[in-house]
Structures are given as structure tokens and as C-alpha cells.
Structure 1
């Protein structure tokens, strides 16, 4: 594949997107430059505007162009429920998939001592200040079900205990419509450990 000139640079920079390899980046570049120049220009302009104006919500740390994001500014949200997630993308996912009406706290990662990511890098001091106010009654730990995500959830759970806040973890296991023969061993193990009574 040619990597010279502006076209090659566009293709290379598109490869920085998650899940986009050289072939996909090449198709995107040709689509934008060959057939869709108006949208390419609009995309470039909105990206520059977003980079200049989008920062972090002062309360939950998600991405927003305002001081407070729409969720934190919404007086109808439940102050007693706080959901801890790893990224702003997780906030969008939960909002689209559930009827959760509480607030969020975005970590921007997970504990990873090997990568130099400790409690300070995740803003856990700010989370502890929120818990210390006494408004939060339940802390929902929605970190990823990875080794690092579980370690992060455990650490935050200890903070919740310290401030006498009930902490819960998202259930994990067999997905809706899943067939046992296609479920991996770790997922099945979590499903058995997290089983509950039939109501």
C-alpha cells in the first residue's frame, strides 16, 4: 500500500481509530475523498470544534462542552445512586441500554500498577469526596469484567465500606439468548457463582 503524500497520511491517521486496520482506513479515505467531500469537510470541521470545546464534566468527569454534563445538570436524576464506569463510552452504553436514573463517576481507566495507573490517576480522591458528603446510598460498580476491572471494583468497594455506602457489582454470566455450549468457561463460572433464586 502506498504511504506517500496526503492520501497516505489520511489512511495512516484513520488507523488510529479502534478496530480500523489499513484496509478499512483505505476504504474510508477513498470514500470521503472520492465520493463524499462535503461530509469529509463537515467531519473535519466538527472534529476541530469538538477538540477545542469538549472537556470533562466537573462532577462526573465524562465528556461535555459544558461545565456540567446533561446528566449531572438534570435535577430529576437520583443523587443516592452513583454508577462508576471506566470510560465516557460506558456512560453512553448504560444510558442507551438501561433505565438507570442515577448519576455517574467516570474513572478514565482502571488500576494498573504496571502501567503506572494508581488511585490518583483515576480521580479516586474526587470519588471519595463525593461519598463523604453522604448523599450517595448505593455505589454501582460497573467496571469491566477483567482482572484490572475487578481489582478496581474491589478497591472502590473498600472506599464505599469506609463511608458506609452500599456497593454492588454488575452481574456477569450467561447473556440473554446465549446457549451454554457456546459460552466460555470463565463466563460460565461467573454465571454459576452469581446464580440467584427464581422468583
Structure 2
């Protein structure tokens, strides 16, 4: 946030207006300066919060002293020096949780919630429908940029025919069907709800 230090005027109670400007040129180039607009309105005030849209720009403030008729005042301007170039905002970081021994679905969900992506490696057969995480990189407790990738390694899952079958919503509301929990008839390798077989 930038804050104005008002200039010295005579009389010292002259009304002042502060308008913020962004400048695309170098430190000595003030011809490129234009008023900053926020939501379609000019940025006016004694403080100014720099937004990401101004990255690569320099900032200054125009201080206008108003005199004469209130309805049509005359403005005398002076300008602050230019700031340095506005740097990109730092990328936020998060701490990587530990997933070793956890089902990989938990790892997928938690990493997505943190804004991280997953690189999955499957090595060997796990014998499980939701294989456990055997390796993760970076390890638990590491700080990484949001958007980074975390590599996890698990065994290959059992065939989905053995673990349940996600029916389309038009058939079963998108509910995941588990072979161990259903008593409906089996057709081929798939277990179907009784109501779909005998409507």
C-alpha cells in the first residue's frame, strides 16, 4: 500500500485531491503516465493498494490544490516521484501433508484442495481397490508453490469390476456401487441394481 505525504502549500488549508497514476516508461519517462481506474472510476485518495494488474508499471500520485470557485475550481498540480517497477506478487506456498500408507484417493483430494497437482506412478499390483501411497515427493512438511506437482507412487488397483462400478447418473444417481454391499444379481462381471433388471 502507498500513502501520500502531502506537499507544502500556501495557504496551508487549501483543499487537496490525490489522483494515482501508472506509468509504463522508464524512471525519467513521465509522458506515459495515465490515471489508474478501479472498476471504471479514477483512483483517488491518500492511500493506494497496488493490484496485480499494475505489474511492470511505475506508480506516482498527482496532488492537486484547488482554489477559486467551488463549482469550477482551478487546480494546481504537483507530482510525486515514480516508484520502482511493480514486481509480480509472490506465488503463495503451502505445506505438503504426509500420505505414506494412506489411500491414494485421500492424497488426490487433499492435494487438489491445496491447489497442487498429482503425478501418479503405479508400480506392481496392490491387491487393493484404493491402493496405499508408498512413495511421495516432496516429502511431508515441504513448502511448495501453489500449482506445483507432487509425485506419489502406489501399486496398481484391483480391476474396477471387482471394486464396484460407477453408473451414469441417469441409471443410479452416480452412486459408486460396492460389490460387498449389494445383494442384487450379477450380470457378467457387473453387479446391477435389482430395479434395473426387474422394473
Question: Normalising to structure 1: TM-score of the pair?
Answer: 0.22
Q: Kindly name which structure, 1 or 2, has the bigger radius of gyration based on alpha carbons.
A: 2
**Structure with greater contact order relative to length (CA < 8 Å, sep ≥ 6):** 2
Task: Flag the structure with higher strand content.
Answer: 2
Task: Flag the structure with higher helix content.
Answer: 1
